[in-house]
Structure 1
Amino acid sequence: MASFEHDEAEWAPHSSPIAVVRPSSTEEVQAVVRACLAHRTPVVARGAGTGLSGGANATAGCVVIALDAMTAIKTIDELERYAVVEPGVVNDDLRAACAEHGLWYPPDPASSPWSTIGGNVATNAGGLCCVKYGVTRDYVMGMQVVTGTGDVVRLGRRTAKGVAGYDLAGLMVGSEGTLGIITEIVVKLRPLQDPQRTIAGYFDSVVDAGRAVSAVAAAGLTPSALELVDRQCLLAVDAWKNMGLSVDANAVLLGRVDTPDPAGEQEAQKMLACFDEAGASWSAVSTDQEEADALFAARRLAYPAMERLGPVLTEDVCVPKRHVAEMLSRIERIGLEYGITIANIAHAGDGNLHPLLITPRDDDAARVRAQAAFAEIIDAALELGGTVTGEHGVGLLKKDGLAKEVDPVVLAMHRSVKAALDPYGILNPGKIFD
């Protein structure tokens, strides 16, 4: 059972579960929850275990319900443009299945080849496309849930519109398994995305790249992706995968536009001008699709590539786009202050930054410094009007940050909702807040 003890969050506390159950139906999930209710045993729901906040970590004396065996894509409705899926469906598998019907599920976290829709919903995951197309919450229409009282309920709708009652389905999105266990999800689909063109810019510093992000926003552009990757990450990916990446820059911005021509070409040229005005040492609209795809593939592989170098404590702060450059500058200063190597990847187009704090293995002093730097980065994001988590969730690592970000009255409202929907406190206790 050791492989079910924790997710990918570095140094987040975890315990050994007393049992792991891998149900294959809603009825089996309900049976487990009712048995745990009878004994007041904590229940921790888990998807693929790719989370980065400790939200799926086992707590003392708990039963882990692993939903990775519930992998059915039950319906793809071409007319109404929705799909009905079980929580264990891998994100990329759903996207591939929808593409066969000429449809597209936009939310695409970097972990999309491995992460599951249930986990994406539990954390309200974002991704590369979210700068233009929104995050998971924007695509969840409804769901089936096993509640903290052992009931099975359906929330939301399958119609294009609907405002009957409170948006309880929306409440479940991002709740990290603390309000119910999701066993079926109805997601909205779009027509297939139009072909994209890639705009790449090389910069001498991540701060210069951050200025380009602000310039793109100020120009009124809404790219279909705008990603930042620094040199450390690209070198780590190349050393691991031998992709032949040749980048002579300390930071790379990868933009994409999917607007049909002639407007698409105009947007690409405007983005190129934004890169140049911000100080790009080189920029171009890519004419080599294979090269462009390789750079975006490297962006997705950056985190696991950095993990090979040592423990990685991953941030997930989000700041207003106008403050991206300032936030990146503060991250650099914090790394120097604490003597911690910090690599940077980011969904830069919407201000969602993922500084990666890298430490040597078995170096307790470095771990302590990294954790102090982690807390200071959170404080810096809040000072700039940002949030402690853009898409990874609060879990265990961001609990202190949430308490700083949210007004005490609002935090009390959170606890009231939790008490109402999980009156016995068995669902993922100790996560998000105590």
Structure 2
Amino acid sequence: MADLIEALREGLPPEALVDDPEVMAAYGSDMAGFCPAGAPAVVVLPRTVEQVQHVMRTATATRTPVVAQGARTGLSGAANASDGCIVLSLVKMDRILEINPVDRIAVVEPGVVNATLSRAVAEQGLFYPPDPSSWEECTIGGNIGTASGGLCCVKYGVTAEYVLGLEVVLADGRLLTTGRRTAKGVAGYDLTRLMVGSEGSLGIVVRAVLALRPEPPRPLVLAAEFPSAQAACDAVCRIMEGGHVPSLLELMDRTTLRAVNDMTRMGLPESTEALLLAAFDTADPAADLRAVGELCTAAGASEVVPAEDAAESEMLLQARRSALVALERVKGTTMIDDVCVPRSRLGEMLDGVAEIAEKHDLTIGVCAHAGDGNTHPTVCFDASDPQESARARVSFDEIMGLGLELGGTITGEHGVGVLKKDWLAQEVGPVSLELHRGIKQAFDPLGLLNPGKLF
């Protein structure tokens, strides 16, 4: 270990190296539960591409594994340290290098916080759509690593659709440039898309060219109460079948509403079984909300309340953004599932989760990006109770199995990491898994980058 740290010091400033065990412990894991994490040999916080290259050359020479990290807000264990690894924290590489309103691109380093970028481009009349619930903390590099989504996905899509090009430091320290700055480009294999969602297993992203959009009007939000999850999901199907394009279509069940009320005192309706939030950022959002409100009523909504102004709309959006944090307070620990199913089967998914909760005598709250079928069943449990913890783990796996049965996927936006690596093999199958391993071998022949993750 001493030789490793000495070799790293040769190309790094003193403040970039952390080897105090108590400080390093804070870099051990992300926010996922039930995921093993090891003790790193050293934590490195580089500020330049050249420093990252030095770290990777040293890692290759010493055969030391490297785990890249952003803000550690991930929910799959993808950023968890392994024993004796170099933790490569990229949070100090946090510069916005360029915002170009003509080409509608931003060039950023990986440590830029999502919300910081969003506010910076908004000052120039532009919009960066991907908006995970943790957008005030999570970094662009982490978003790229896990192919993050967010509340606006139903209209604007996920992170992968906004990454035009990357600079990536490979395992041996070479610098790879992928993609483009242009609006179009089809030269060669799409290595940019390959990197997005690779969870730090193929290379270290040190720069990203991101697509921007013109800033849309401020959205207006509608809240609709339903007597059952099925009725709410029926409304979602009617909205999408009717050709409507909401900028947000989110669902919270009764358990989630109670948790949010307990934490925020917002006074959300707790008597309803499901609350659907629909937002439009169109030229005439009020007209769109009226049309959607009629569809919700036809689907059985007991009450439909459109927000009167932007402030009320923002309050409703903040309630949704608070859901996962609020559910964690119910019993102290959560396991957050991330199963995405076809919209047409969303009702079956929610009913199935309710049955699993009853079967295992657990509290499982569900919030969902209903417009794209991405559900977040959140298992609330007492980690100090071994029996309840065991039931929580079983229920988590049953929820993933249910998602696959319904034609879905085990993760819509949180990634695989450690938490779901066994399930990845079930979803993609042996031929795909063999190709995954072949790609990993081509990029990282020594297996140094984020070992033990994905597969």
Whole-angstrom CA distance in 2 between matches of 1:249 and 1:417 = 48
The percent identity for this pair of structures is 50
Aligned partners of 1:149 and 1:423 also within 8 Å: no
Aligned residue in 2 for 1:6: 29
Aligned partners of 1:202 and 1:251 also within 8 Å: yes
Whole-angstrom CA distance in 2 between matches of 1:207 and 1:6 = 37
Aligned-pair distance for 1:236?
Answer: 2.2
Aligned residue in 1 for 2:298: 277
**Secondary structure of the corresponding residue to residue 95 of structure 1:** helix
Q: Encode CA deviations 1:165-193: one digit per residue, 9 max, x unaligned.
A: 11101110000000000011110000001
Aligned residue in 1 for 2:407: 385
Alignment of 1:14-413 (within 5 A): 14-261=37-284, 264-309=285-330, 310-413=332-435
Q: 1:292 to 1:231 in 2, by over 3 A?
A: farther
Task: Please tell me the residue identity of whatever aligns with 1:393.
Answer: G
Aligned-pair distance for 1:247?
Answer: 4.8
Aligned partners of 1:342 and 1:355 also within 8 Å: yes
Task: Please tell me the residue identity of whatever aligns with 2:452.
Answer: G
- Structure 1 portions without partners, runs of 5+: none
Aligned-pair distance for 1:246?
Answer: 4.8
Q: Encode CA deviations 1:24-79: one digit per residue, 9 max, x unaligned.
A: 11111111111111111110000000000000001122110001111100100111
Aligned partners of 1:202 and 1:248 also within 8 Å: no
TM-score using structure 1 length? 0.97
Aligned partners of 2:216 and 2:282 also within 8 Å: no
**Secondary structure of the corresponding residue to residue 113 of structure 1:** coil
Whole-angstrom CA distance in 1 between matches of 2:188 and 2:217 = 36
Aligned residue in 1 for 2:442: 420
Aligned-pair distance for 1:11?
Answer: 1.3
Which deviates the most, 329-338 or 205-214?
205-214
Aligned residue-pair number: 431
TM-score using structure 2 length? 0.92
Aligned-pair distance for 1:85?
Answer: 0.6
Whole-angstrom CA distance in 2 between matches of 1:195 and 1:46 = 33
Task: Please tell me the residue identity of whatever aligns with 1:290.
Answer: A
**Secondary structure of the corresponding residue to residue 76 of structure 1:** strand
RMSD: 1.2
Task: Please tell me the residue identity of whatever aligns with 2:357.
Answer: G
Aligned-pair distance for 1:214?
Answer: 1.6
**Secondary structure of the corresponding residue to residue 322 of structure 2:** helix
Whole-angstrom CA distance in 2 between matches of 1:207 and 1:26 = 51
Q: Encode CA deviations 1:389-417: one digit per residue, 9 max, x unaligned.
A: 00000001111211111121011111100
Aligned partners of 2:220 and 2:309 also within 8 Å: no
Aligned partners of 2:219 and 2:313 also within 8 Å: no
Whole-angstrom CA distance in 2 between matches of 1:141 and 1:317 = 27
Q: Encode CA deviations 1:146-175: one digit per residue, 9 max, x unaligned.
A: 012211121111111111111101110000
Task: Please tell me the residue identity of whatever aligns with 1:368.
Answer: A
Whole-angstrom CA distance in 1 between matches of 2:115 and 2:369 = 19
Task: Please tell me the residue identity of whatever aligns with 1:423.
Answer: P
Whole-angstrom CA distance in 1 between matches of 2:62 and 2:412 = 36
Aligned-pair distance for 1:244?
Answer: 4.2
Whole-angstrom CA distance in 2 between matches of 1:206 and 1:15 = 41
Task: Please tell me the residue identity of whatever aligns with 2:289.
Answer: A
**Secondary structure of the corresponding residue to residue 26 of structure 2:** helix
Whole-angstrom CA distance in 2 between matches of 1:211 and 1:221 = 14
Whole-angstrom CA distance in 1 between matches of 2:262 and 2:105 = 41
Task: Please tell me the residue identity of whatever aligns with 1:292.
Answer: S
Whole-angstrom CA distance in 2 between matches of 1:422 and 1:163 = 25
- Structure 2 portions without partners, runs of 5+: 1-23
